[in-house]
Amino acid sequence: MGVSLPPVADQPRVFRRLRVGLARNGLRVALESGRLRFLSMIATSLVVAAFTGAVSWYLFRQLAVNNIPFKGAIVGGLFDLLFFTLGGMLVFSTGIILYASLYTAPEARYLLTTPARADHIFATKFQGAVAFSSWAFVVLGVPIFLAYGLTAGVPWYFYALLPVFLLGYVLLPGSVSAALCLLLVRYMPRNRRQFLLLVTLAAVLLAGVWLARVGMSIRKSIQTQGRELDDLIGQFDLVRSGLAPSHWMTRGVLAAARGDLPGAALPLALVWSNGLLVYVGAAALARRLYRPGFDRMSGLGRGKKLYGTSPLDRAMEFLVGYLDRPTRVLVVKDFRTFRRDPTQWGLLILFGVLMLIGASNFRGIYQGGFAVMDRYAISLMNLCGTAVLLCAGLSRFIYPLISLEGRKFWILGLTPVSRDQILWGKFAFAATGSLLIAEGLILFTDLLIGLPPEGLAIHALTLAVVALGLSGLNVGLGACLPNFKETDPSKIVVGFGGTVNMVAGLGFVVVVIALMVVPFHAAQLARGASNRPDAAVSPWVFAGLPVGLVLGAAAVVLPLRAGARSLRAVEF
């Protein structure tokens, strides 16, 4: 017989109060101490939303110009695809966030030692994960539908129903993702790595086959100048099926747009009822599986793993062979830390692969007879994408490096390495890695697209300036504005210094590209548009190159010098 038990709390209410308290205090702190960061987040979201809205408005206007019905099958197909894509993104993002907050977060470990019921912990974490992951959904989705509403001339209740539709739709992919996450953790085979590798390979294979079929269909419709679209439309049958929630959304939204309220109510009810049903199912799964899953998770990955040197370390040491030995050792140490953390390089690989797939698809399209001038536009887009990737990657991984040394600076402080050498070591590490990635990506994609040699040379030079300049900025500002108290790099990145660094980096990228590349591409596009492909290009097109080089040199030297001065003065 057990001892007498205390009463049971109204846990949903307790967790609701907790969330309100956390949100209120978080907002207060954001407004008091991180106003710049907070405002920059809001401003960025508004800019992205406004840009998405403007592009959508323009595209919807094109429908009107081409006399395509706003509430017909073509727009329906586009909406099907949009909802399906957004739903897919929500499945992945909610799953990843939920996994982290249920199984690896210190808060989960704490809550699991309290009498909080597993399904209540799940519910509170689920709401947080869905709110976080649907941020992009709101920023991208709402402006698209507002633009649609404005151009299509919809009744007022279209706007009133829109948030109800979107909110309901967030619930369904989020719940599916949560159920998958719980099942996967509980029943995943012991050999986690092998299993995940197999699943990833299967997913990539399926996506590859589908993309190839879509590519072939696009080519076919281009070759027949749009006469044979059946094949292409057929590739999207899944998202248009009556069982697909994305199609329920399309049916409902279009019905609301047509002013058919009863027609909108049924799909809306389908979206909400299915979303809630799957959510209740996921919560029931959580009640049974969350704690055993957590137990199982704690037991995984305890196998002994031997770490040693790798040929990659030796390659990195070779690449920075011009440095003295102690600095080389520091560079290899940073590189080793980087390569042993898959979350650090996973995104880089993903983006790189997407760029390569995109470039090879464009190449296929050229063979189908696209205008030559478009290759300049596409290669410029690739270059901008690579530069932004570098900016984001270096801000995330290089900027916090000096701050992260803070707590263990005594280790470096006791070695015969000066603080200047430490700084230069970080710069060499950042510059070597970013040069390799950026030049490799841009040269490969430009060659695939078939850019002429002068374009190739300008791209290579510009990205070298971007890579070196961003490396200097990140290492220099990282030393000038360090945060030695924080141990979590992601928190260092979103702090004041990280925000300043990100804004400075983006500004640098925009100016360098505008000076060094845009004039050349604009000239080529103008030449293509004027139907005079043999016309000579003005030498003024290259006038921005020396200015960009000077700017790049300044972005390396000035921040590093200031960073070295600051680092020499720091007391640990």
Task: Name the site residues for another protein (rule: CB under 8 A).
Answer: 1-3, 5-11, 13-14, 17-18, 21-22, 25-26, 29, 106-107, 109-110, 112-117, 190, 291-292, 294-295, 298-300, 302-303
Q: Residue 533 burial by CB count (10 A; 0-12/13-18/19+): exposed, middle or buried?
A: exposed
Query: Residue 324 in contact with residue 416, Cβ under 8 Å?
Result: no
Helix (H) or strand (E) holding 433: helix 419-449
Could you tell me the smallest distance in angstroms from the CB atom of residue 190 to another protein?
6
Of the pair 299, 416, the CB lying nearest another protein is at 299
Of the pair 263, 292, the CB lying nearest another protein is at 292
Could you tell me the smallest distance in angstroms from the CB atom of residue 186 to another protein?
12
Query: Residue 524 in contact with residue 537, Cβ under 8 Å?
Result: yes
Q: What number of residues does the chain have?
A: 572
3-state helix, strand, coil in the chain (%, to 5): 80, 0, 20
Could you tell me the smallest distance in angstroms from the CB atom of residue 7 to another protein?
4
Spatial CA neighbour of 315 closest among 326, 331, 302, 304: 331
Of the pair 300, 558, the CB lying nearest another protein is at 300
Of the pair 24, 565, the CB lying nearest another protein is at 24
Spatial CA neighbour of 459 closest among 352, 540, 548: 548
- φ and ψ at 36, to 5 degrees? -60, -45
Could you tell me the smallest distance in angstroms from the CB atom of residue 444 to another protein?
42
Of the pair 107, 454, the CB lying nearest another protein is at 107
Could you tell me the smallest distance in angstroms from the CB atom of residue 502 to another protein?
22
> For residues 147 and 155, what is the distance between their CA atoms, to the nearest angstrom?
14
Spatial CA neighbour of 176 closest among 245, 118, 225: 245
State in Å, rounded, how far the first CA of the chain is from the last one: 58
Query: Residue 454 in contact with residue 363, Cβ under 8 Å?
Result: no
Of the pair 99, 294, the CB lying nearest another protein is at 294
Could you tell me the smallest distance in angstroms from the CB atom of residue 342 to another protein?
21
Q: Residue 340 burial by CB count (10 A; 0-12/13-18/19+): exposed, middle or buried?
A: exposed
Of the pair 184, 297, the CB lying nearest another protein is at 297
Of the pair 33, 62, the CB lying nearest another protein is at 33
Spatial CA neighbour of 559 closest among 457, 473, 492: 473
Could you tell me the smallest distance in angstroms from the CB atom of residue 16 to another protein?
10
Could you tell me the smallest distance in angstroms from the CB atom of residue 400 to another protein?
18
Query: Residue 447 in contact with residue 360, Cβ under 8 Å?
Result: no
Radius of gyration of the chain, Cα coordinates, nearest whole angstrom: 27
Could you tell me the smallest distance in angstroms from the CB atom of residue 422 to another protein?
28
> For residues 312 and 289, what is the distance between their CA atoms, to the nearest angstrom?
41
Could you tell me the smallest distance in angstroms from the CB atom of residue 187 to another protein?
16
Cβ contacts of residue 101 below 8 Å, gap of 6+? 107, 108, 125, 128, 129
Of the pair 10, 534, the CB lying nearest another protein is at 10
Of the pair 226, 303, the CB lying nearest another protein is at 303
Of the pair 20, 261, the CB lying nearest another protein is at 20
Torsional sign, CA 186, 190, 194, 195:
negative
Could you tell me the smallest distance in angstroms from the CB atom of residue 21 to another protein?
6
Query: Residue 78 in contact with residue 257, Cβ under 8 Å?
Result: no
